[in-house]
């Protein structure tokens, strides 16, 4: 009897000990994998219940891959594991062994071979023309994934503010259209999981940084998309958002550190005043609210001053480049991040890929404030962002306003003089070749709305895009004069579906045979100019010489040692005669050229340009 009691007691103690050491449950390991021969040291974030109680080792031992440190977080459900990968380590599958007393859990972690030439990959440059797509509104290649069981918002194409079903398969299906148009790079708005309850189609509220939204496809399909783009001669620019994540992100209710996101006693928005970054007179309180205030109640503002978060985002960016073969990044709301950590972020990406290009959204009409954010710019405070490219919003604003001033009578400084004035400030910028120019994007009114559906104005803005300095970007459908369905309702109605992207659409505008009237005229003009631009080194890297006039015209030359391109914009309501003799300092000895649009010979003698029209002539020196 005593022996039986002893056995029972022994079993009870054993069971109690087992209960005290529950099964090790790993929920997230990020980055998802890594590679040999990388510059960035590997730090793996592991998430799992009470994971901080675990020790971690990497097997097999002696393989050149080993754990060098384990860092605990404020939450017991996270650890950050530093891993050293020696120069002679082999690519393959390794085992992360987690142990907790008598419990152990083995997790397979892949350290792969890098693709040949990965480090030296080229990126987008002035030789490229960037086509901006909003995936949900472009084409629906797979209706079966319009709504999924593991995401909250379901498709409702009748509602302009809801998901419509566009996806990666739809994008892949129409790469021929984009390449034929003359684009050489695609920037799509974010494709990562955005699992908000409503209006999640825009993608700027990320719920998982390592997962393509299943309503678009999968990580594997995104990789296929990049490969297919490359086959079509198209580079891929990924839109990323380190400034904020969604409150639906899996980490939001159990953050690794108390300062992982910016915390406030009550909800506090950013004051949107990023001039506080360079304003000597700005208060610290205003600067703090600018970079720490939230964008929206559903967008938690990330704190990049936390070194573990900064490393997380550096590795995340590098992972997507290496995993999928990316060619560039566009960074959303760039100045709202903490500027010094973001400078380190840019530097880390560039250290891994020296030729890579990153363009930052710096939405300001102030030229000095814009110039401040381009890497290498001379700033009085010594700040260097290491951000290679910036988006030229001052030029964007000037062109759009000028298109509303197409008459003959206007005040000083209006009409095309606005564009001249912006270009006259080019001396402020550190690197004119790394400026993205545009007349519209997914956050602005459609340029065809600004131009009131006037095909002649649309050809003016296309001419400016294709012939001015910098890297041009066009919003999908602008080549076909897409207009908002209801401008009063803002973003959802300017982000229109591309007709023909959905089964049953009444018209298919991906098919050039279905283009008619002004739409066809603008498309053909745009296609001709974009394809001409591809091989024009004088446009890619040539200098600019421009001339001021007060009659709502604008004349400029792009030139190098061998070629000259003359552009004359008549934005007035009257016919104008090109004053060729006025341009003698460059036009002397340039008498006969070729009209870029018609292909016909042009003799520059008493040439007249119709109202709201353009003339583009190329010469050989």
**Per residue in 14-26, is it b (16+ CB within 10 Å) or e — as a string?**
eeeeeeeeeebeb
CB proximity list for 6: less than 8 A, separation 6 or greater: none
Specify the residue for token string 């050489």.
184
Strand partners, 97: 57, 106
Which of the following is catalytic: 30, 332, 392, 618?
A: 332
Tell whether the torsion through CA atoms of 296, 242, 301 and 248 is positive or negative. positive
Evaluate whether 475 touches 132 at the Cβ level (below 8 Å).
yes
- Read off the tokens for 161: 């503010």
Q: Which of 524, 426, 476, 552 is nearest to 171 (CA)?
A: 476
Specify the residue for token string 């297919």.
228
Which of the following is catalytic: 136, 352, 361, 618?
A: 361
Return the number of other C-beta atoms located less than 10 Å from residue 608's C-beta: 11
Q: Which stretches does DSSP call E strand in 113-149?
A: 130-133
CA angle (247, 164, 236) in 5-degree steps: 75
Dist. CA 479–CA 183, nearest whole Å: 11
Dist. CA 36–CA 85, nearest whole Å: 7
Residue 361 annotated in active site = yes
Dist. CA 45–CA 69, nearest whole Å: 12
- Cβ-in-10-Å burial (0-12, 13-18, 19+) of 3 comes to exposed
Residue 426 annotated in active site = no
Q: Three-class SS of residue 301?
A: strand
Q: Which of 123, 125, 185 is nearest to 431 (CA)?
A: 125
Helix and strand numbers, DSSP H then E, in the chain: 16, 28
**Per residue in 427-436, is it b (16+ CB within 10 Å) or e — as a string?**
eebbebebbb
Strand partners, 334: none
DSSP letter at 32?
S
Strand partners, 34: 111
Q: Which of 456, 426, 423 is nearest to 573 (CA)?
A: 456
Q: What are phi and psi of 446, to 5 degrees?
A: -60, 140
Residues with catalytic annotation? 332, 361
């Amino acid at each position: 009897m005593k022996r039986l009691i002893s056995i029972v007691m022994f079993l009870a103690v054993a069971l109690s000990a087992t209960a005290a050491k529950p099964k090790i449950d790993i929920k997230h390991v990020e980055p998802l994998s890594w590679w040999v021969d990388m510059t960035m040291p590997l730090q793996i974030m592991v998430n799992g219940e009470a994971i901080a109680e675990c020790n971690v080792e990497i097997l097999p031992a002696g393989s050149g891959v080993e754990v060098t440190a384990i860092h605990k977080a404020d939450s017991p459900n996270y650890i950050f594991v530093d891993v050293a990968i020696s120069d002679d380590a082999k690519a393959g599958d390794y085992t992360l062994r987690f142990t907790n007393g008598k419990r152990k859990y083995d997790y397979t972690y892949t350290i792969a071979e890098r693709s040949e030439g990965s480090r030296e990959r080229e990126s987008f440059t002035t030789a490229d023309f960037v086509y901006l797509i909003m995936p949900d509104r472009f084409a629906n290649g797979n209706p079966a994934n319009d709504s999924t069981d593991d995401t909250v918002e379901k498709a409702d194409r009748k509602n302009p503010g809801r998901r419509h079903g566009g996806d990666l398969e739809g994008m892949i299906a129409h790469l021929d259209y984009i390449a034929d148009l003359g684009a050489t790079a695609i920037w799509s708005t974010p494709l990562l999981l955005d699992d908000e309850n409503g209006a999640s189609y825009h993608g700027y509220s990320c719920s998982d940084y390592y997962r393509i939204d299943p309503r678009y496809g999968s990580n594997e399909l995104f990789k296929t998309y990049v490969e297919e783009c490359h086959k079509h001669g198209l580079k891929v620019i990924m839109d990323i958002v380190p400034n904020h994540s969604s409150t639906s992100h899996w980490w939001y209710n159990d953050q690794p550190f108390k300062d992982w996101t910016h915390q406030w006693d009550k909800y506090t928005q950013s004051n949107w005043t990023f001039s506080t970054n360079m304003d000597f007179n700005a208060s610290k309180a205003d600067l703090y609210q600018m970079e720490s205030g939230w964008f929206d109640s559903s967008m938690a503002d990330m704190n990049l001053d936390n070194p573990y978060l900064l490393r997380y985002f550096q590795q995340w960016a590098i992972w997507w480049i290496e995993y999928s073969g990316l060619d560039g990044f566009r960074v959303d709301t760039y100045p709202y991040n903490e500027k010094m950590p973001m400078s380190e972020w840019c530097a880390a990406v560039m250290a891994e890929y020296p030729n890579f290009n990153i363009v930052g959204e710096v939405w300001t009409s102030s030229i000095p404030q814009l110039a401040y954010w381009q890497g290498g710019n001379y700033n009085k405070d010594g700040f260097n962002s290491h951000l290679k490219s910036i988006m030229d919003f001052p030029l964007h604003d000037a062109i759009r306003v000028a298109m509303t001033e197409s008459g003959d009578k206007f005040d000083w400084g209006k009409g095309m003089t606005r564009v001249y004035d912006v270009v006259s400030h080019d001396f402020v910028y550190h690197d004119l070749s790394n400026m993205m120019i545009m007349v519209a994007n997914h956050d602005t009114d459609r340029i065809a709305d600004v131009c009131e559906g006037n095909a002649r104005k649309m050809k003016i803005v296309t001419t400016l895009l294709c012939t001015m300095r910098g890297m041009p970007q066009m919003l999908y459908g602008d080549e076909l004069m897409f207009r908002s369905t209801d401008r009063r309702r803002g973003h959802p109605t300017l982000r229109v579906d591309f007709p023909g992207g959905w089964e049953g659409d009444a018209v298919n505008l991906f098919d050039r045979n279905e283009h008619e009237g002004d739409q066809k005229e603008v498309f053909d003009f745009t296609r001709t100019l974009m394809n001409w631009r591809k091989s024009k080194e004088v446009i890619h890297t040539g200098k600019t010489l421009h001339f001021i006039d007060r009659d709502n015209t604008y004349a400029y030359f792009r030139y190098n040692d061998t070629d000259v391109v003359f552009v004359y914009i008549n934005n007035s309501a009257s016919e104008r005669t090109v004053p060729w003799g006025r341009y003698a300092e460059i036009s002397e000895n340039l008498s006969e050229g070729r009209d870029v649009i018609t292909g016909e010979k042009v003799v520059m003698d008493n040439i007249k340009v119709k109202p709201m029209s353009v003339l583009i002539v190329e010469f050989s020196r």
